[in-house]
Structure 1
Amino acid sequence: MPRPLTTFVGRTAELDAVAAALDEARLVTLVGPGGCGKTRLALQAAAARTDARWVDLTTTAEPRLVPELVAAAAGVLPSSAGALAEQIGDRPLLLCLDNCEHVIGAAADLVVELITACPGVTVLATSREPLGVAGEVVWRVPPLSGADALALFEERAGRTARSEAVRTACIRLDGIPLAIELAAAWSDTLSEREILQGLDDRFALLVRGPRGVAARHQTLAASMAWSHDLLDEADRVLFRRLGVFQGGFTLAAARAVCDGEVVAGLRRLVDKSLVIADTRGEVARYRMLETIRQYAVARLEASGERDGIRDRHLDAFLALTEEAAPLLGRDKDAWRATIGAEQENLRAAIDWGLSRDDPERGRRLAAGLPWLWHLNDRGREGLDLLQRAVDLGAGERTGLQARLLTGLSLVADTTRPDGLEYDAAQAAMEIATETGDAATASMARLLGAVAVFALDLDTGWSEAKQARARAREIGEGFVIDGATALMGIVLHLRDEHAEAVKHLQEAVDGLVRRGDRGVASTALGYLAGSALITGDVARARELAAEGAAVARPLADHHRVGSAAAAVAIVEATAGDVDAAWAALNPVIRLVEATDPSPFIPGFARAVANLHLWSGRPAEAVAWFGRETAWLPEGVDLYLAPQTLTGLAAAHRATGDTEAAAQACERALTLARKIGMPSVEADALEQSAFLTPEPERAEELHHEALALRVEHGLWLPCVDSLEALADLAPGTTEAARLQAACNHARQEMGAPRLTPAAAQQPYEGTVLSLRDAVDYARRARGKRGRPSSGWASLTPTEQSVVRLTVEGLSNPEIGSRLFMSRSTVKTHLSHVYAKLGVTNRTELAAMAGPHLEG
């Protein structure tokens, strides 16, 4: 057996698999491209076998000499295959035939003879293609794992190399051991970053191999050339043309781009380990390792065929995109399945098309793909390509230019919403209207509404309403549902939750039916938020989980991250903080590894809140800062006040009351300006916590409570009541309120997330949440009420009316509200006078509309 000059690194799982294969089969062939480590793996697998004999077939190019080489290794006389088998007889022997590819026929014939006539012979072969012998187990050598690749680089470099540059280099070298070793050999000359940069021209960098190894392994280029030179001319032509594909290809695509016998040629290239076939799906998919593909590209460049083949590649993927376009309106899942697998090819085709003297085909292809970039994590790439395509048509007033501008707006919405999306949408709508493209104009109007609503909820609402009306006239399903969803989001932010739920649910039904997962998952997240804030925690958990499930197949930062944030907030509110972190952690790792950080509305705020609730306010401050860090200076979106209230709480928890007060003041101003009652209440609550005067703190808590009651925000109402109880420790009133809050939290399934003050025992009747709210507000009402009508009623009188309409008797009402029967009667007489009614029936009819919800 040969003695390697270097140590063997990793491959533990592969060695076990090869050993198991040798136990089961008489012929095992390790197959793979040049430099993948076939020889070293075979040597290591055979090293422990005393009966192993090694035959290096690269020492001859003459097929007739193969039996002689085997005879020499086996220690018998040179002879024909039959005579060789007679000499070996039944002695045990592991025969290792290394590098069979250039004498494949002779090697195969000899192996058949030996394993047929010699019961003790097992053959372990290495080759760039299978021997094609009956009973052969073909074991394709995989690339090194990430850990093994890094370990090999370190061992060959002679030092620890744990930088991100080295990890990236190992990935870009496809885990090919030879390539990694050649790159590591530069460690005494180049920095790790320079080695990575050098891989842009990897065949120029990886040219210095170790002495003492076969010439074909001294450089990566030589290894590739060895395989290439063994091909027939027709396969060489197919090989170099296939280099135009990036990210793999289908048989149909190969036929569209490459002439000749593509099927048979592909089969031969797969056999020779130059192409990898994945046949697990409904349609087989082929690919080259990137190192091999770059060699094929170099051959394509040298052939003079490059421009023609790249034109055919562009035409093939333009045709694919335009044929798939009808799926966008009825089944986006099917469209993504068709288009998503070709993302690398599409990018390359657009890039080529836009570089031509006539960029029309490249612009058409770019115009067909905005939904691809809108629904995945490569939006910045999409923006760059779309902007190039738009710029190449600057000044045009054509349908194509309108579609490109609409696409630019669509991708900017989930990638970089800094005003670009609004400008592009407005320009697109004007051009599409001029050219009579009603569908594009409708989509552009919706995108304009999406862009403006973040700054102005009222304008967003009216624009969405107009977009929906126009879309209904022309039957644009996505625009109808998208506009309805946007209207639901505005209603949610306005805390009109009953109407918000109607709009959002209507939108979700249509969106999910068509596979419009992105907007559907967002709408489900808002539905979960409405359920949560109104006190239905169980329903919120269902909706948040559904939103995450809808988003998951998109595998993007934006939608999956937002859905994870919704799950985290709901699960934490339900008391399962571990489940909340489990939802966020995978996305946190992606966000922290991405520069610049992706735009994921609500995600950083969710992480910050979890840190805050987990007792880590300093970390919360940092994450709250991330939520709006991408906003342009001086721009206030609806995200800002929500973030500022949390930031105030985090600053307060760190002891920085000045920063907390500033955040509170800013949040309150913005919430009132934008019109977000729940956020206004949150800001008032934080202000109350910061106020040293108990009387003023009580007033602020009551202001917050009034807003929450007015909009049916029952879960935050519990927070308000707990805060009021904490202001009066040791009193019966505080104990009564705290008991009601504990009961409400138990019913809702929403335990308190922050430590509670010491609670006084309470043995009386436990109030319902609404009764507890009435109890707390009884002595507090609006100043300057009118003398008659519903607005003239005090909070206590409103409570009496509500219980009366529910059918309670005066004694029952008195028991609920902790007042005497005569006091109830007095309140009712005042109510009758103010409302102009004379009995309970008239009272119920008059009060009904005011008590709904």
Structure 2
Amino acid sequence: MPTDPARHTPPTQLTAFVGRAVELSAIAGSLSDTRLVTVVGPGGCGKTRLAVEAASRAATRWPDGVCWVDLTATSDPAAVPELLAAAADLFHTPGDGALPALGRQLGDRRMLVCLDNCEHVLAAAAELAAGLLRACPGVTVLATSREPLGVAGESVWRVPPLTADDAVALFEARSTGVAESDQARDAVRTACVRLDGIPLAIELAAAWSGTLSAQEILDGLDDRFALLVRGPRGVAARHQTLAASMAWSHDLLDDADRVLFRRLGVFHGGFTLATARSVCGFDGTDVLGGLRRLVDKSLVSADTRGRVARYRMLETIRQYAAARLAAAGEREAVADRHLDAFLALVEDLAPLLDRDKDAWREAVGAEQENLRAALDLGLSTADPARGRALAAALPWLWHLNGRGHDGLAFLRRAIDLGAAERSATQARLLVGLALVADTTRPAGLTYDAAQAALEIATEVDDARSACLARLLRAVGGFFQDFDGAAALAEEAGSQAREIGDGFVADGATALLGIILHLRDRHEEAVPVLREAVDGLVRRGDRGVASTALGFLADSALCAGDLAAARDLAADAVRTALPLADHHRVGSATSTLATVVGLSGRLAEACAVLDPVVRLVEGADPPPFVPGLARAMGFLRLWSGRPAEAVEWFRRETDWLGIAGDEHLAPQTLTGLAAALRATGDTDGAASACDRALAAARSTGMPRVTADALAQLAFLAAPTDPARAESLHHEALALRADHGIWLSCVDSLEALAAQSESPAEATRLLAACDRARAEFGYPRTVDRPEVAAGLLAALGDEAYRAASAEGRELGLPDAVAYARRARGKRGRPTSGWASLTPTEQSVVRLAVEGLSNPDIGTRLFMSRSTVKTHLSHVYAKLSVTNRTELATVAGPHLANF
């Protein structure tokens, strides 16, 4: 026998090892703790390279070296001991005495024995490893295999896919050139993801880099087994092509497991034992036992951490299995069973929609790739009834999960296939289209689809579809007609309570609360919104609950309670986060960022919103996120970057998929006006104000009306101070009368700037300082020169006295003081200048032809109050009827 101990190093590698730092550390730890470590994974995952690197780095820990045994040299189990003998320079004894003889020769040597590629001689490799561990206390065994050896004390270490960064690094290391453009780097990264981070697949793809561009390689992966066919010379045949690697694993299966393996290729994105049995468990196929064996052989992975185990094939393996399924002539039959299984699944889960949407979303969301495949099949068959039924069962998935564009496409296909039908299925599909459009692309589609659904559902007596359609019709049109939307919501809510539809009942309540909020009837809106939130959260209706919480936060903001506003906005974000969608999470985060920004923490506000902005800007097409453009616009404006603010405000129409500022929401138009004014575009600012004012007055939105009036006042100030003051007073009156106290601070400061009385201005500014401190609402820009000017005008003693008097005023008292102070400056007793801002508003609406009740509705006052105001106006203007009033008021209203 040779006298030198075995000091064989692992095989020399011709290419550099890339990445896998975490994996190498884990294997090193296992080798320290355990005498048998088996590195397990599918073909091409890099088991051998990982073992070579781990053994090389740890070689100094074994004084007698590393002995590398390549088991691919034989397919005869009896030859396995002989391969070890040859690798370790030992004598081989044929027959049953081979293992004991090897044990005696190794004796007390301290060495690492590496058994590479054990899967095709698994029993013999397991017997050899177990024999070495028993006979040689100084020997540690590192094995690689597509399935565990099954030896007592074995530590199984499953190889994960490469991380995204390691995968790209491997591609670049094996390619003939590094991708230099951002587009090429993106294509490489995407290709690595599509190849499941499998090193062999990535290396084979990189080998094409001297012939194809990165984008062409990515495009070629649609048929990956045709593209990835050129491996390096000098490697095992099974690693020459991806198909050969898959075939090697497949050929090691017994016949029954081959059948199950290929049938599992019909699944997309994973499966459960139940769905596998439903789809694949015919002809006596043993699904549970077969799954266990396929998991052991690394062809299927199992995630057992949840309540129900979930199984998955890497996409590369799944495509190979699907090709085998087609070759066996079973694809149509298995795909048909797949469609039936997932239609039955969603029908079984449907009751959860009414009591626990979180549970429904979790169960159905896990299967969305399978559902997509089933829908594609179901809507492509000669009889699309099953596909249409499946599409009608899934709108809530697309409404909540951020894949609304996919949902709209499937629903339109299903609707077109039944265009001539007046059926319950067609009604459900149409109402589903409206539901998905609401969070995806609402411009007109929500209302139109809901109206069509309502008509058909009413005809076929489908109360649930009709109920939801009525609510969605209200949602689709409520910005154009608050009163009509409120009437529809009340009707939908009443019907929903009769039939036990909790979502529609609470959703209708939420919509009524939102309308009250937008009309600045906050004392009424808040309890209505809270009632809706309670029911929605209890049932897991997170989307609408988050929206309602956002409006509650805005009501708290109006009242000046910024702390409560932040808590409510944060609650809205927490409620929406499990949905992980652009629409709800983005909208809630926009509200939170606005509150944080108004609190003076602009950098924090931008940081809060930045992840949403990056997600949205990286999406194609960009998703609709209510309030995001407006929030970003205001943050840029408050940060002194008005040109950027203008661009952000205008993005609202981009995300809605329409063109032109005229489609901006009134709240966004007032922000746009402020930004345009700050850039010096006074004409554009005035136009935005006029459109905002018209929209706000027609729908009855006092806050937006006041905001537009304030912007017009700022525009008028340089040339017409009297008009500016009048507009600021009108804005203040609206804000104070509707409890919009935060904005009252802005009005009072604007009036202080217009005041001709330094004492009055000082009192108002001191009162505003007190309010800002109480609200936590700092100025975005401090102007010490204003205080200095007032101090100079009044003198030290008078200035301190006026400031002290102002600080004694609570905000309502300061508003009352500003109104009284205006009267003290001698408003005339007759003529247009004698009219109060409220009287001027009454005149304007009367001249427009509104009746007294309509004027009262618009200005939120009783009919008798309107009549009183008109009688005062008639007396001051010396007119006796509306015709005379229009003649006298016309020239003044032209500039109003």
TM-score with structure 2 setting the length: 0.86
Are 2:607 and 1:593 equivalent residues in the alignment?
A: no
Alpha-carbon separation, structure 1, partners of 2:563 and 2:43: 58
Closer, same or farther: CA 647–557 of 1 in aligned 2, 3 Å: same
Letter of the structure 2 residue corresponding to residue 104 of structure 1: L
Do the aligned partners of 2:423 and 2:460 also contact (CA within 8 Å) in 1? yes
Match of residue 673 from structure 2: 648
Alpha-carbon separation, structure 2, partners of 1:563 and 1:343: 25
Residue 198 of structure 1, aligned match among 220, 245, 263 = 220
CA apart distance, 1:38: 0.7
Alpha-carbon separation, structure 2, partners of 1:661 and 1:589: 32
Are 2:274 and 1:234 equivalent residues in the alignment?
A: no
Match of residue 82 from structure 2: 68
Match of residue 820 from structure 2: 778
Alpha-carbon separation, structure 2, partners of 1:245 and 1:784: 82
Closer, same or farther: CA 106–720 of 1 in aligned 2, 3 Å: same
Letter of the structure 1 residue corresponding to residue 804 of structure 2: G
Q: Deviations over 1:274-314 (max 9, x none)?
A: 00000001110000001110101111111111111111111
Alpha-carbon separation, structure 1, partners of 2:243 and 2:629: 47
Alpha-carbon separation, structure 2, partners of 1:6 and 1:728: 80
Q: Secondary structure at the match of 2:177?
A: coil
More deviation, 233-242/424-433: 424-433
Are 2:469 and 1:427 equivalent residues in the alignment?
A: no
Q: Deviations over 1:123-142 (max 9, x none)?
A: 11111000111111101111
Are 2:153 and 1:135 equivalent residues in the alignment?
A: yes
Letter of the structure 2 residue corresponding to residue 140 of structure 1: R
CA apart distance, 1:182: 1.1
CA apart distance, 1:636: 8.4
CA apart distance, 1:633: 5.2
Q: Secondary structure at the match of 2:804?
A: coil
Do the aligned partners of 1:628 and 1:640 also contact (CA within 8 Å) in 2? no
Do the aligned partners of 1:735 and 1:759 also contact (CA within 8 Å) in 2? no
Alpha-carbon separation, structure 1, partners of 2:827 and 2:663: 31
Residue 173 of structure 1, aligned match among 187, 195, 199 = 195
Q: Secondary structure at the match of 1:778?
A: helix
Match of residue 11 from structure 2: 2
CA apart distance, 1:578: 4.1
Residue 279 of structure 2, aligned match among 246, 251, 257 = 257
Do the aligned partners of 1:429 and 1:440 also contact (CA within 8 Å) in 2? yes
Residue 473 of structure 2, aligned match among 448, 461, 467 = 448
Match of residue 727 from structure 1: 754
Do the aligned partners of 1:726 and 1:757 also contact (CA within 8 Å) in 2? no
Q: Deviations over 1:480-500 (max 9, x none)?
A: 111111111111111111111
CA apart distance, 1:42: 0.8
Q: Secondary structure at the match of 2:114?
A: strand
Letter of the structure 2 residue corresponding to residue 169 of structure 1: A
Match of residue 739 from structure 2: 712
Closer, same or farther: CA 61–539 of 1 in aligned 2, 3 Å: same
Residue 267 of structure 2, aligned match among 245, 250, 256 = 245
Do the aligned partners of 1:492 and 1:530 also contact (CA within 8 Å) in 2? yes
Q: Deviations over 1:249-274 (max 9, x none)?
A: 11111111112111110000000000
Match of residue 140 from structure 2: 122
Letter of the structure 2 residue corresponding to residue 55 of structure 1: V
Closer, same or farther: CA 381–733 of 1 in aligned 2, 3 Å: same
CA apart distance, 1:457: 2.0
Alpha-carbon separation, structure 2, partners of 1:342 and 1:26: 41
CA apart distance, 1:757: 4.9
Alpha-carbon separation, structure 2, partners of 1:666 and 1:502: 32
Match of residue 374 from structure 1: 399
Closer, same or farther: CA 133–793 of 1 in aligned 2, 3 Å: closer
Do the aligned partners of 2:441 and 2:657 also contact (CA within 8 Å) in 1? no
Q: Deviations over 1:595-623 (max 9, x none)?
A: 11101110121122222222332322222
Alpha-carbon separation, structure 1, partners of 2:102 and 2:753: 96
More deviation, 494-503/221-230: 494-503
CA apart distance, 1:358: 1.0
Are 2:619 and 1:618 equivalent residues in the alignment?
A: no
Match of residue 837 from structure 1: none
Residue 744 of structure 1, aligned match among 760, 771, 792 = 771
Match of residue 98 from structure 1: 116
Residue 33 of structure 2, aligned match among 5, 24, 27 = 24
Do the aligned partners of 2:729 and 2:837 also contact (CA within 8 Å) in 1? no
More deviation, 323-332/630-639: 630-639
Match of residue 809 from structure 1: none
Q: Deviations over 1:352-376 (max 9, x none)?
A: 1111111111111111111010011
Aligned length: 792
Match of residue 22 from structure 2: 13
CA apart distance, 1:631: 4.1
Give unmatched runs, 5+ long, in structure 1. Answer: 796-833, 835-853
Closer, same or farther: CA 78–744 of 1 in aligned 2, 3 Å: same
Match of residue 507 from structure 2: 482
CA apart distance, 1:523: 0.6
Do the aligned partners of 1:454 and 1:637 also contact (CA within 8 Å) in 2? no
Q: Deviations over 1:188-243 (max 9, x none)?
A: 22121111111111111111111111110111111101000100010000001011
Q: Deviations over 1:569-615 (max 9, x none)?
A: 11222233344233312211210110111011101211222222223
Q: Secondary structure at the match of 1:764?
A: helix
Match of residue 214 from structure 1: 236
Letter of the structure 1 residue corresponding to residue 86 of structure 2: A
Q: Secondary structure at the match of 1:442?
A: helix
Alpha-carbon separation, structure 1, partners of 2:302 and 2:709: 63
Do the aligned partners of 1:562 and 1:600 also contact (CA within 8 Å) in 2? yes
Alpha-carbon separation, structure 2, partners of 1:224 and 1:211: 19
Give unmatched runs, 5+ long, in structure 2. Answer: 1-9, 788-798, 840-871, 873-896
Letter of the structure 2 residue corresponding to residue 177 of structure 1: P
Q: Secondary structure at the match of 1:597?
A: coil
TM-score with structure 1 setting the length: 0.90
Match of residue 705 from structure 2: 680
Match of residue 817 from structure 1: none
Q: How does 1:598-613 map to 2 (within 5 A)?
A: 598-613=623-638
More deviation, 675-684/247-256: 675-684
CA apart distance, 1:758: 3.2
Closer, same or farther: CA 631–92 of 1 in aligned 2, 3 Å: closer
Q: Matched residues, percent identical? A: 68
Residue 268 of structure 1, aligned match among 282, 293, 298 = 293
Q: Deviations over 1:389-414 (max 9, x none)?
A: 11111110111111111111111111
Residue 84 of structure 1, aligned match among 99, 102, 113 = 102
Match of residue 359 from structure 1: 384
Alpha-carbon separation, structure 2, partners of 1:256 and 1:784: 87
Are 2:346 and 1:332 equivalent residues in the alignment?
A: no
Q: Deviations over 1:315-355 (max 9, x none)?
A: 11111111111111111112112211111111111111111
Alpha-carbon separation, structure 2, partners of 1:670 and 1:754: 30
Letter of the structure 2 residue corresponding to residue 537 of structure 1: L
Alpha-carbon separation, structure 2, partners of 1:244 and 1:345: 9
Alpha-carbon separation, structure 1, partners of 2:131 and 2:507: 70
Closer, same or farther: CA 464–10 of 1 in aligned 2, 3 Å: same
Alpha-carbon separation, structure 1, partners of 2:773 and 2:342: 58
CA apart distance, 1:648: 2.1
Match of residue 208 from structure 2: 186
Q: Deviations over 1:122-165 (max 9, x none)?
A: 11111100011111110111111111111111111133325221
Letter of the structure 2 residue corresponding to residue 45 of structure 1: A
Do the aligned partners of 2:361 and 2:397 also contact (CA within 8 Å) in 1? yes
Q: Deviations over 1:632-687 (max 9, x none)?
A: 65888985221121122222333333433332233223222332221121122222
Alpha-carbon separation, structure 2, partners of 1:793 and 1:746: 29
Do the aligned partners of 2:479 and 2:699 also contact (CA within 8 Å) in 1? no
Alpha-carbon separation, structure 2, partners of 1:169 and 1:759: 61
CA apart distance, 1:439: 1.3
Match of residue 830 from structure 1: none
CA apart distance, 1:784: 11
